[in-house]
Amino acid sequence: MGSRHRLLAPMAYSLFFVFGSITSLNDVLMSKLRELFQLNYAEMTLVQFCCFASCALISIPASYLIDSLGYLRSVTVGLTLMAVGCLLFIPAAGLSAFPAFLGALFVIAAGVTVVQVTANPLVIDLGAPANTPRRLTLAHACNSIGTVVAPYIGATLILGTASARANTATPASVISSAYAAIAILLLLVAGTVWSMRNHFTQQKVERQSALARVSRHWAIRDGRQHSVAHRLSLSS
């Protein structure tokens, strides 16, 4: 691994921590939104539905974004989207409307999807293929740490702070303040990634359609079978 790649590795691992943390905050947010808008359980599931719907809709376009911009620029776009979604909690709190919060969560999930789709191949390409399983294991360990740490911090900021400031701030404003702070952190990370955008050269991989890959697989298989049959006929 080159010196530039050594500098990129900690940043790449931190991305897994970031999107793991942001995703796990939804569980904390759901309980606060339920209290704020008197939601039933069916309405609460809309929070996760918006997030997973965003993942389903954005994941394929995100792969084309990587081809167009490269890894680090795509990560910057994803982090910026996440920050914009967090900032959208401010007008959502002002409107005090549940659909506005869902829209903000959709934008956050879109950014998370872009970062997640980009981070995995980035980690794979950061070193020798023989060490790829080790790098991926470490990266997903960072993701797991984020999913453990973030709910505790989120509960302290959103739930605990809401209780402590019950007489001076509304629950909606507490949520928007917490996510505004997260947006600032995300923008700092995005700026760091953007400053490193020229430190990594992405190898272009030729795209093949599914039909072409299947056809190539069967052609190789038929060729091997023909070769085995030919050797067996010669030996007999």
pLDDT, one tens digit per residue, over 63-93 is 899 888 889 999 999 999 999 999 999 999 8
Query: pLDDT: is 156 or 178 the higher one?
Result: 178
Instruction: Single out the residue of 219, 200, 189, 165 nearest to residue 71, CA to CA.
Output: 200
What pLDDT does residue 151 have?
A: 85
What pLDDT does residue 231 have?
A: 53
Count Cβ atoms within 10 A of the Cβ of residue 225 and give its class: 0-12 exposed, 13-18 middle, 19 or more buried.
exposed
Count Cβ atoms within 10 A of the Cβ of residue 140 and give its class: 0-12 exposed, 13-18 middle, 19 or more buried.
middle
Mean pLDDT, residues 102-112 taken together: 94
Count Cβ atoms within 10 A of the Cβ of residue 44 and give its class: 0-12 exposed, 13-18 middle, 19 or more buried.
middle
Query: pLDDT: is 184 or 128 the higher one?
Result: 184
pLDDT, one tens digit per residue, over 182-228 is 999 999 999 999 988 876 655 444 444 434 444 444 444 455 445 54
The answer to whether 83 and 186 have CB atoms below 8 angstroms apart is yes
Pull the structure tokens for residue 112: 């998370």
The answer to whether 139 and 12 have CB atoms below 8 angstroms apart is yes
Mean pLDDT, residues 127-133 taken together: 85
Average pLDDT, the chain: 80
- pLDDT > 70? residue 167: no
pLDDT, one tens digit per residue, over 23-59 is 888 888 888 888 888 888 888 888 889 988 999 999 8
Query: Residue 100: CB partners within 8 Å, gap ≥ 6?
Result: 88, 91, 92
Mean pLDDT, residues 105-132 taken together: 90
